[in-house]
Chains A and B, each alone.
Chain A
Amino acid sequence: GNSVTQMEGPVTLSEEAFLTINCTYTATGYPSLFWYVQYPGEGLQLLLKATKADDKGSNKGFEATYRKETTSFHLEKGSVQVSDSAVYFCALGGSGGSNYKLTFGKGTLLTVNP
């Protein structure tokens, strides 16, 4: 079945540091890949997505590239801000028997200190 593995948290960074959150996946077929963000006390929001190999999703300074050869979709940001503190979820969808659901990773808590 489909699965998503993302790096364990928590991750603590200083403002303006470089961020990488690793995400790898196992899936049949050709899934789409997503990063969702959950700010404290809120629901999940779509941060970015990529629907096919070599696509790069980007939003709010975050980027992730769909790498089929390494089955990865790592999230990066060049300079984090305090307001980026949140839980980040990698997810895949639309593949094989998972056409009607998203499969999520366990989430990575990011804390950015001033």
Chain B
Amino acid sequence: EAQVTQNPRYLITVTGKKLTVTCSQNMNHEYMSWYRQDPGLGLRQIYYSMNVEVTDKGDVPEGYKVSRKEKRNFPLILESPSPNQTSLYFCASSRSGTLNTDTQYFGPGTRLTVL
């Protein structure tokens, strides 16, 4: 089954404790992206990747890092989480970065709480 998986689905942590949210897709997609969803703000892009070793900032990259060492994986790293990073995070992938034609597939989301 074609899918985007994220782990963990739920995470409660404390300020400053480094964490990684994993994202994996099994569709051989070139493009992957991270979004955060906050009430009243919709989804905002954090980072995206056009292919292996090619990443770029989205609208709200501060406090986040990403890497794309393999095509299928695109982990999101919070080196020193803060309470304002409490949010619902979605990973997405598509065949290419041509988003006016390609469909983006979303993972189930990771709900992160930073105390």
- Count A-B pairs with CB separation below 8 Å: 63
Instruction: Give the distance to chain A from B39, nearest Cβ to Cβ, in Å.
Output: 9
- Whether, in the assembled complex, A51 has its beta carbon less than 8 Å from a beta carbon of chain B, the answer is yes
Stretch at the interface among A12-20, A40-48, A67-75, A76-84: A40-48
Cα of A41 to Cα of B107 in the assembled complex, Å? 11
Decide: A89 and B108 in contact? CB cutoff 8 A.
no
A4, B44: Cα distance in complex, Å: 12
- Chain B hits for A41, CB < 8 A: 108
Bound together, the chains give a CA A30 to CA B101 distance in angstroms of: 12
What residues of B have a CB within 8 angstroms of the CB of A51 in the complex? 100-101
Q: Categorize the interface residue count of chain B.
A: 20 to 34
B101 touches A46 (CB 8 A): no
Give the interface of A toward B (CB within 8 A): 4, 30-32, 36, 41-46, 49, 51, 89, 93-95, 99-102, 104-107
> Is B81 close to A, CB under 8 A?
no
Contact B98 A44 (CB under 8 A): no
Which residues on the A side are within 8 Å of B103 (C-beta)? 46, 49
Which residues, 74 to 110 on B, are CB-close (under 8 Å) to A? 90, 92, 97-101, 103-104, 106-109
Of the residues B33, B41, B43, B100, contact of A95 by C-beta under 8 Å:
B100
